[in-house]
Amino acid sequence: MEKWLGLLNRHIRSVKKPDEAADAYADIHMGFVWIHPFFDGNGRMARLLANLPVLKAGYPPILIPMRKRREYLLCLSRYSLEASPPPSGTRPSFRSTSRSHVSGNFAKNYGKTPSPW
């Protein structure tokens, strides 16, 4: 837990660019799920915590649209099956999915250019 909190704090301090925001989201989300592995009740908290550095950097939160929920859950499952190393070893497939959601949110909320609050 202490290691994960350090990761969260580093990401909150350092995220500046969209790809960094997506990577931070993936690292934090998967790291939290890894240490809080409950079938029900950890998804909302994981997404909330994972969005902290994204929001702090001035970007819109990463929201998973219902039509993409299945893809998102499959990606999480693949990560869980493939992965041994949590946060720093976040799999590229999950990072790619996070990045696409970040990009979609930027386009939807801000047009092509992300804008801080």
Active site residues: 36
Annotated binding residue 104: no
Structure-derived torsion over alpha carbons of residues 43, 8, 3, 87, reported in degrees to the nearest 10: 60
Annotated binding residue 45: yes
- For residues 6 and 111, what is the distance between their CA atoms, to the nearest angstrom? 33
- What single letter denotes the amino acid at residue 45? M
For residue 32, which of 53, 14, 58 has the smallest C-alpha distance? 53
Annotated binding residue 67: no
Annotated binding residue 42: yes
Annotated binding residue 27: no
Annotated binding residue 31: no
- For residues 99 and 104, what is the distance between their CA atoms, to the nearest angstrom? 9
- For residues 109 and 1, what is the distance between their CA atoms, to the nearest angstrom? 34
Annotated binding residue 44: yes
Annotated binding residues for ATP, written as ranges, equal: 40-47
Which residue ranges are tagged as binding site? Answer: 40-47
